Amino acid sequence: MSLIIGKVIDDNILMLGDTKLTFEHKVNSNPFIDGCLKQYIVSDKLAIAFAGNTEHFRYEAASLLNCRSSDEILQVTLQAQKCGAEFQLMVAEIGCPYISTLKAGVLCQSEVGYIGDSIGFDCFQRNLHNSAKDNSDILARNTLYLNILRIPESLKSGEVYRELFNTLKKVIWDEDVPTVGGAIIPLCSDNGKFSYMNYADVISDPIKFESHVTTPRAIDFGTPQSGGYTVEFNDNSVDAGDGREVGFYFLQGGFGVYFPSDSSGFRKAEVIRANNPANWNLQTKKLIGTTIYSQYLTVDHCGIAAEECIGSNNFLDAISYFEMADLQTLNGRPHDLVDRFFFFYANTLIQVGRPQNARNLLISALQAYIRLPNCHRLLSNLG
């Protein structure tokens, strides 16, 4: 059934939900890769979320996403529910002092609302009112949890948003609420329009405290063998996109999940195999035309991905990886690594028929760095 929470505070709208799909006949689904997007931006000022029968919502999705007002959306949904559609809908409009929900033909309008699993909502309410403000109990096992959240800028305090996020996370982790799971999708009003709020979640491996007592050592974060992981949620706005293409990238898992739109506008999860963040960036660029950017990207990721492509004579993708790199981050790195990066970059430019670009790159590199023997030799060969 899923769970979507909506709240109006300080003239802002916060809408947070999960991604899990609950199939008939009690089929167990992976909430990440078998899930779907439950929250949708209809326009800058208008957003919706659904819970319930996915196919029924998909049937109405095109009509709902083409609506121009919350009243129009409610009318379309009410008619669908009268005809037997088994999904619930939440509607939020910037400037409106309440959230609207429609469940089985019953309209409710208030500052706080929910759709989806009632047991999950009871769990959410219980955790929200009983949890300590520092969220020290967010995991019952011996692990550490770190999240980095982008807070809607117009909120007077980010504490409410953080508390809602972490409380929903507790519901997702609660084994007694099997219908709520996967990752959190935050859709909020931000600077006068609806935007997906990007974030990163990091879960450590289980900690054996006795091994840290006598000799302090680093805590392992995100080794798949032990259950830790790092996941980030982002959209395509960094690449001049419309902010409506979103996805998750699992750093240790070497894959990501994005939500492509079908002809109705409905978005189901699709997996992208991506060994490192550079692969993820390029694959999303190819699939949707704009990049769902990974904040974990480093120049090392770009160099590794590029050399893999060079090894298979895929020089065009190699160029894309080199161009993706922030060259300023090479400052202070070992000279042999810098030499290798610019040598392969320039040589690849030559392979695709761009010798003048290669020459200019090498000249700039040799002016910025002193000891680049391979680059110096390649430039000499170019004449």
pLDDT tens readout for residues 36-84: 899 999 999 999 999 999 999 999 999 999 999 999 999 999 999 999 9
Domain presence at residue 216: yes
> Could you count the other beta carbons within 10 Å of the beta carbon of residue 265?
17
- Does pTM top 0.85 for this prediction? yes
Among residues 184, 201, 230, which one ends one of the domains?
Answer: 230
According to the model, what pLDDT value does residue 210 have? 53
Task: Determine, yes or no, domain membership for 283.
Answer: no
Q: In this structure, are 219 and 365 located in the same domain?
A: no
Both tokens of 152, joined, read 């809607």
Residue 81: inside a domain, yes or no?
yes
The answer on 328 and 222 residing in a single domain is no
Query: What average pLDDT does the segment 277-296 reach?
Result: 96
Judgement on whether residues 306 and 225 belong to the same structural domain of the protein: no
235 domain-assigned: no
Q: Span 144-159, mean pLDDT?
A: 85
Can you tell me the distance from the alpha carbon of 365 to that of 342, in angstroms, rounded to the nearest whole number? Answer: 7
Chosen domain end from 230, 258, 290: 230
Which among 33, 31, 90 is positioned nearest to 64, based on CA atoms?
A: 90
What is the CATH classification number for the domain harbouring 137? 3.60.20.10
In angstroms, the CA 97 to CA 190 distance is 16
Claim to verify: residue 304 and residue 224 sit in the same structural domain: no
Q: Could you tell me if residue 245 is inside a domain?
A: no
In a domain, 268, yes or no: no
Transcribe 185-211 into DSSP letters.
EEEEEETTEEEE--EEEEEBPPP-THH
**Does residue 195 come out as left (phi exceeding 0), alpha (psi in the -120 to 50 range) or beta?**
beta
pLDDT tens per residue across span 351-374: 999 999 999 999 999 999 988 999
Residue range 222-261, pLDDT digits in tens: 554 555 678 899 999 998 899 999 999 998 888 999 999 9
Co-location of 104 and 217 in the same domain: yes
**Mean pLDDT for the stretch of residues 324-349:** 96
pLDDT on residue 367: 94
Instruction: Tell me: pLDDT of 145 over 80.
Output: no
The answer to whether residues 311 and 247 touch, using CB atoms and an 8 Å cutoff, is: no
Query: Has residue 286 got a pLDDT over 70?
Result: yes
Map residue 108 onto helix, strand or coil: strand
Angle at alpha carbon of residue 136, lines to 178 and 185, rounded to 5°:
45
> Does the structure show a pLDDT above 50 at 136?
no
- The total domain count for the chain is 2
Tell me which residue range forms the domain holding 158.
3-230
Q: Give the least confident one: 90-94, 148-152, 310-314.
A: 148-152
Q: Which residue spans within 289-340 are E strands per DSSP? A: none
The label of the residue with tokens 């121009």 reads 68
307 shares a domain with 201: no
pLDDT band per the 50, 70, 90 thresholds, residue 295 = very high
Helix H or strand E encompassing 111 = none
**Intra-chain end-to-end CA distance of the chain, in Å:** 67
- Does residue 139 contact residue 193 with C-beta atoms inside 8 Å? no
What element of type H or E holds 299? helix 299-311
Residues 6+ apart with CB under 8 A from 84: none
Phi, psi of 11 (to 5 degrees): 65, 15
Structural domain contains residue 106: yes
Q: What residues form DSSP beta bridges with 41?
A: 47
- Same domain, yes or no: 58 and 175: yes
Q: The domain spanning residue 303 has which CATH number?
A: 1.25.40
**Which tokens in the block code for residue 163?**
């508390």
Position 255, amino acid = F
Amino acid (1-letter code) at residue 243 = G
- Choose the final residue of a domain: 184, 214, 230: 230
Whether 51 and 134 share a structural domain:
yes
Question: How is the beta sheet containing 270-273 ordered, strand by strand?
Answer: 145-149, 199-203, 229-235, 246-250, 255-258, 270-273
What average pLDDT does this structure show over 83-92? Answer: 97
Q: Regarding predicted confidence, which is higher, 139 or 144?
A: 144
Same domain, 224 and 313: no
d(CA 112, CA 50): 16
pLDDT value at position 23? Answer: 46
Handedness of CA 6, 140, 296, 280 (dihedral sign): negative
The answer to whether residue 253 sits within a structural domain is: no
Q: What is the C-alpha to C-alpha distance for residues 133 and 125, in angstroms, rounded to an integer? A: 14
- The whole-number pLDDT of residue 230 equals 82
At 185, list the tokens: 């999708």
Q: How many residues belong to the chain?
A: 383
Residue 167 has pLDDT above 90, yes or no: yes
> Mean pLDDT, to the nearest integer, of 186-212?
81
